[in-house]
Amino acid sequence: MQKFNPEQAMCETRREFGEHGGVAPSISRSSTFTVMEPGTMPEIFEGLRGPYKDGCYLYSRHFNPTTNILARYLAAMEGSELAACTASGMSAISSALLQLCHCGDHIIASNTIYGGTYALLKDVFPQMGISTTFVDPSDTSGFKAAVKPETKVIYTETFANPTLKIADIPELSKISKKNKIKLVVDNTFTPVIVSPLKLGADVVVYSLTKFVNGASDIIAGAVCSGTDFIYQLMNLHTGRLMLLGPTMDPRAAFDIIQRLPHLPMRMREHSTRTLAAAELLFKMGIKTVYPGLPAHPQHKLAESMINQGYGYGGIMTVDCKTKDRAENFMSVLQNQEQFGLIAVSLGYFDTLISCSGSSTSSEISPDKQSEMGLSPGLVRFSIGYTGSLEKRLEQIERAVQKCLL
Ligand code: PLP
């Protein structure tokens, strides 16, 4: 089904060189930009001129030359017309949703998503008159049944955080198109692996903080979509990115630009190692969830959505049943085996482990956690690629023998 090659698309996009022929682009740090004639300025405010029209810049909360390079590279990766960079994943999500939804509107969201997004939809948006119905992403009929006349957005993650349930993007796209709803997909777990816009999504949001940057040293986000939507977000008088102001610093943009070329290579290695670890745990009889395992209930769906050659991603989960067992397992992994670091977040070159129910999903009540299939003992692994794979597997095996058998 998937014919898109994000790696090739990234290579084919126009490469930006620095001043004096630098192989790396220059960082443009100006907050404001001068124009030759005073009449140019009102034309920029009216949207008649601008960086994508004639190279005219105004002010860096609007567009900045360096963040625009990153935006262009991300758009190439995603197969979108345009992209906009933001200061965090959360600001990409909140700005995109607030652009699409106004007071009185309704969102249908997957019930298993990052805890911060869940809290935004459940607690913050109702204060603005925007309501959300949460449904199981592995059952498309739930989305269909939840559509109301005031529904404006279907919101899901590609592979859900942390349950790794998989959203059927082509089917959700059919529902959204039929009902004139926008399909917004958070693809943070699966950059280059899945290309949601190519499967029918309207907007893709990212926390670049994770795999895309890959070094756990920058908080950043992005929105990838059609030109119209990105222009709406950036409209000087009404755009949510322009007015809420979660602007990416050009220095952060530069760092991510320099790491983006090896993202496909990194994703391949994350996937290879996560599959090996998941296979080992599965063979040992441990309840392991990974979309690359044929035992994953939606493995075939995952297979039908992925771009070839990048595997199934770097995230897997292990159900230790209770929080105490999970904490003991994580402690043995980190402190006795030196396998991974107990930390939230994901997409680092080293393995990160956390107990989701009491950390990044703690915004979700225990009964809702159980409804979405999140056990209190679930340990989420973001598998890194340092060290020899053979030794890493031995470390996991010993920790499992000590703690879980
Ligand atoms: N989306 C997903 C799937 C996440 O896991 C996270 C953070 O963990 C976010 C969005 C929020 O990203 P950020 O921390 O960059 O705001």
CA of 90 from ligand 1 middle (Å) equals 6
Burial class (CB in 10 A: 0-12, 13-18, 19+), 342: middle
Which DSSP symbol is given to 49?
Answer: S
Nearest CA among 304, 310, 226, 240 for reference residue 274: 310
d(CA 295, CA 289): 8
Q: Is the Cβ atom of 187 under 6 angstroms away from ligand 1?
A: no
- Taking the centre of ligand 1 as the mean of its atom positions, its distance from the CA of residue 191, in whole angstroms, is 13
pLDDT at residue 39 tops 90: yes
Residue identifier of the C-alpha nearest atom 2 of ligand 1: 114
pLDDT digits (tens, 9 = 90+) for 241-296: 999 999 999 999 999 999 999 999 999 999 999 999 999 999 999 999 999 999 99
For ligand 1, is residue 88 a contact (CB within 6 Å)?
Answer: yes
CATH 3.90.1150.10 fits 263-403, yes or no: yes
Residue 61 backbone dihedrals phi, psi, to 5 degrees: -75, -20
- Transcribe 182-227 into DSSP letters: EEEEE-TT-TTTB-GGGGT-SEEEEETTTTTT-SS----EEEEE-H
pLDDT tier for residue 191 given thresholds of 50, 70 and 90: very high
Domain extents in the chain:
6-261, 263-403
Mutate to test the pocket of ligand 1, among 86, 97, 112, 114 (most ligand atoms within 8 A of CB): 114
Q: Is the CB of 191 under 6 A from ligand 1?
A: no
Q: What is the pLDDT of residues 106-130, one digit of tens each?
A: 999 999 999 999 999 999 999 999 9
Q: For residues 289 and 294, give the distance between their C-alpha atoms in angstroms, rounded to a whole number.
A: 10
Share of the chain above pLDDT 90, in %: 98
Contact indicator for 163, 153 with CB cutoff of 8 Å: no
Residue (of 117, 189, 177) closest to 147 by Cα position: 177
CATH topology for the 6-261 domain: Aspartate Aminotransferase; domain 2 (3.40.640)
Report the alpha-carbon distance of residue 176 to residue 82 in Å, rounded: 21
Give, for ligand 1, the residue of 85, 189, 190, 207 to mutate: max count of ligand atoms closer than 8 Å to Cβ. Answer: 207
